[in-house]
Amino acid sequence: MNLWKRLMCTARRKSPWLFHMNSGSCNGCDIEIIAALSPRYDAEQLGVLLQGSPRHADILVVTGPVTNKAVNAVKTVYDQVCGPKAVVAIGSCPATTNVFIDSRTLDGPLDKHLPVDVYVPGCPPRPDAIIAGVVKAAVLLAERGSDAPKPAIVIAGTAAEEVQP
Amino acid sequence: MNPMLTALARLLIFPGLLFAVPAAWFFLWVERKAVALMQERVGPPFMQPFWDFVKLLGKSTPPRPGIAGFIMRAWPLIAVGSAAGAVGLLPVLPASGGFEGDLILLLALLELPSICIIAAGFSSRSIFGEIGSAREAALSVSYNIVFLLAIVSIAASQRTFRLEALAAMHPTFLTVLGIVAILICLPAKLHINPFSLPNAEQEIYSGPMTEYAGPELAMWELAHGLEWVAATGLVATLIAPHIALAWGTSLLAGFIFVVLSVAVVLLLSVLAAATARLAIDSSVRFYWQCTLIFAVLAISSALFVRFWL
Amino acid sequence: MNILTMLWKNLRRGYQTLLFPARPKVTARFRGLVQFDPALCTGCAVCRMRCTSRAIEFKAGKGEFTWSYNPGQCTFCGRCVEGCTEHALKEGHTEHALSQQQDTPPVYTTQGELKTSYTVARRPPASKPVAAPVAAPTPNPAPGGAQ
């Protein structure tokens, strides 16, 4: 089955399908994600497609610091993405809540709820940086193989490390 | 040769699954690449639909408590089977068998994937699936009337329902009108702009397919690709008088068939790149108000030609 | 016919995409990661005060201070660099410790991976060029940022 496994790893690397989730962002990062699909950067040259349903996607692309109202939505959508999956945090907000640090309306950075694989810093990050982040997540997916996907994390305060050997 | 064996060979080998599946991936790539180049993008690489298919086979399917999972999983398989059967009926090579009335069987098999999509949306018990299926059903009723009337008018004017005889016909004004009508119905059948509402991504979370994942989604994508091959192959059959090519070997005729199908794909890609998505009421209104009258005219003139001339 | 002529022109011009991994050059005033030069820093902590997202941390110790910067927290506004420049100019220095890199920050995989920290020993203040009656060097003028 080695040939099939290698074929599957190549396929996962070459065909990363995204689902974009906005957990309270200012929309700056969302606009840059759409710009990454525009003719100048064209994420489709790497096989990246923006899908309409979380069940169709491999990579969950999240923007925004996680507001209180968005926490359950983010966890539900993460559970709906079928494995193997990866999470990319676009912008500084999901990584560290950026300028909204210690705000009453937020519920922590994203890795308090989900295992994040790749962080793309920037406010907003440039579209080529977003594509680089998605490519890195696709490579991680290819290496991850067919492990069982992790459920959404409910422990508060821990920063989950998601670097698989 | 044993007719059962020929039929099986046509279904599974040529132009059946073994040739139709790579052809489906090729046609999907041609459409995506053409749309991308017209939008000044570089588009996906050549093997992209193949990699998408393999990747989808490797994903897990979610647990679906409380839903009749067997029926839900059967719809994509039925869609793939009927689309592959439709491709298998195409007369790619001249004098390759076929039977009286195989045009009707081809039409029935071409219809099944749409019916499977509608049923799948409802059986997935998702509200987005239900809305998408309702839209697909409304669109399907509208374009099917025009589609079937156009095909019946062509067949009536040629006095045959046999695909090979239709492939050999000489084009008259009536048949050209019918082919144009079929081409107008193809965007709705294949879910491309401007009639791509049932599959709209940002509208209803990809409609009937919302709850499908993994290998089931791979089967849906494959059925979609096979639909492309079958539909463009039908148009190529009606356009190409390939048996009338006195100087062609059968291999050349098959090659010309493929080239004509790719030309139809390119034509539909230009249409897809040039238009935006119409809302469901505009789509339905287009087929009922603009094209139905021409289809009725075509069928009545065909019947007139058939019975009174 | 307008859209069709546009499509034809697009086809003739060819694709305008930057093929991966080519990236476009950033413009002259692009604000990237904050760069710190320990040799020039005087430990005034104006940057910590002006930072909008608490990306810069400043710990004052005896005879040394620790300056740390978390690019994950940064919003790349440039207020720290402005503050450092203004303060340095007010003090009579022409150089200042902070600048912004003209390049996109890199993608990382672990939380806090890009955080940098510098521990700088406090230097005695430079002697003033204007002739002052008392030549004895004054002790460290600013307490270096109250905790």
* pLDDT value at A67 more than 70: yes
3-state secondary structure chain C: CHHHHHHHHHHHHCCCCCCCCCCCCCCCCCCCCEEECCCCCCCCCHHHHHCCCCCEEEEECCCEEEEEECCCCCCCCCHHHHHHHHHHHHHCCCCCCEEECCCCCCCECCCCCCCEEEEEECCCCCCCCCCCCCCCCCCCCCCCCCC
Euclidean distance between CA atoms B237 and B103, whole angstroms: 11
Calculate mean pLDDT across residues A111-129. Answer: 91
**Chain C residues with CB inside 8 Å of B39's CB?**
10
For residue C78, being part of any structural domain is answered with: yes
Q: Are B265 and B31 in contact (CB under 8 A)?
A: yes
Kindly tell me if the per-residue pLDDT of A91 is higher than 80. Answer: yes
Asked if residues B227 and B87 have their Cβ atoms less than 8 Å apart, the reply is no
What pLDDT score was predicted for residue B35?
92
Give the residue carrying structure tokens 């400043």.
C58
Q: What are phi and psi of B140, to 5 degrees?
A: -65, -45
SS3 label, residue A164 = coil
User: How is B168-182 classified by DSSP, letter by letter?
Assistant: TPPP-HHHHHHHHHH
Kindly state the DSSP code that residue B94 receives in the 8-state scheme: T
* Cα of B222 vs its chain's centroid, Å: 12
Instruction: Out of A114-128, B6-20, B56-70, give the one with best mean pLDDT.
Output: A114-128
Q: Which of A109, A116, A122 is the closest to C105 by Cβ?
A: A122
Residue B103's pLDDT band, with cuts at 50, 70 and 90, is confident
Q: Nearest Cα to B202, choosing from B119, B117, B276, B125?
A: B276
Digit-coded pLDDT (tens) for B217-268: 999 999 999 999 999 988 988 887 655 454 456 677 778 888 889 999 999 9
Q: Do C24 and A128 touch (CB under 8 A)?
A: yes
Name the minimum distance, in Å, from the CA of B34 to any CA of chain C: 9
Q: Which of B34-48, B56-70, B271-285, C51-65 has the lowest mean pLDDT?
A: B56-70
Q: Name beta bridge partners: C108.
A: A119
Looking up residue C75, the CATH number of its domain turns out to be 3.30.70.3270
Choose between A119 and C135: higher pLDDT.
A119
Residue type, B278: L
Structure tokens at C37: 């030069």
Distance from C-alpha of B3 to C-alpha of C35, rounded to nearest angstrom: 78
pLDDT band of B126, cuts 50, 70, 90: confident
| A117/C75 touch (CB, cutoff 8 Å), yes or no | no
pLDDT of residue C127: 60
Who's near B234: CB < 8 A, 6+ residues apart? B90, B106, B110, B182
Query: How far is C-alpha A33 from the geometric centre of its chain's CA atoms?
Result: 12
Out of A24-38, B172-186, B289-303, pick the least confident. B289-303
Kindly state whether residue C135 falls inside one of the protein's structural domains: no
Least confident of A46-55, B57-66, B71-80: B57-66
Verify whether the Cβ–Cβ distance B62 to A8 is below 8 Å.
Answer: no
Strand runs labelled E in A58-154: 59-63, 86-90, 118-120
pLDDT value of position B218? 92
Residues of C with CB under 8 A from a CB of B: 3-4, 7, 10-11, 13-17, 19
What pLDDT was estimated at residue B204?
56
CB contact under 8 A, C107 and A132: yes
Residue B48 is predicted with a pLDDT of 93
Please indicate, yes or no, if residue C34 is contained in any of the structural domains. Answer: yes
Task: Tell me the chain A residues in contact with residue C73 when contact means C-beta distances shorter than 8 Å.
Answer: 92, 95-96, 98, 101
Across chain B, mean pLDDT equals 84
Contact C44, C144 (CB under 8 A): yes
DSSP bridge pairs for C34: C100
The boundaries of the domain holding residue C88 are 28-121
In a domain, C131, yes or no: no
The two tokens of residue B155 are 């067949």
**Residues of chain C with confidence (pLDDT) below 50:** 132, 134-147
User: Position C29: which residue type?
Assistant: R
Residue C145: what pLDDT? 41
The yes-or-no verdict on residue A160 having pLDDT over 50 is no
**Touching partners of A (3+ C-beta pairs < 8 Å):** B, C
Separation of alpha carbons B91 and B82, rounded Å = 17
pTM of the prediction?
0.86
For A14-144, CATH number? 3.40.50.12280
Q: How far is C39 from chain A (nearest CA, A)?
A: 27
pLDDT per residue over C79-91, tens digit each?
999 998 888 888 7
Per DSSP, the three-state class of A36 is helix
The Cα–Cα gap between C65 and C121 comes to: 6
Residues in chain B: 309
Assigned domain for C112 exists: yes
User: Between B83 and B12, whose confidence is greater?
Assistant: B83
Q: Is the pLDDT of residue A162 over 60?
A: no
**Stretch B277-296: mean pLDDT, rounded?**
84
The verdict on residue C88 lying in a domain is yes
Question: What distance in Å separates the CA atoms of residue B131 and residue B92, rounded to the nearest whole number?
Answer: 38
User: Where residue B25 falls among pLDDT bands split at 50, 70, 90?
Assistant: very high
In a domain, C113, yes or no: yes
How high is the pLDDT of residue A164? 30
Q: How many domains does chain C have?
A: 1
Task: Categorise residue B119: left if φ over 0, alpha if ψ from -120 to 50, beta otherwise.
Answer: alpha
Instruction: Answer whether residue C46 is part of any domain.
Output: yes
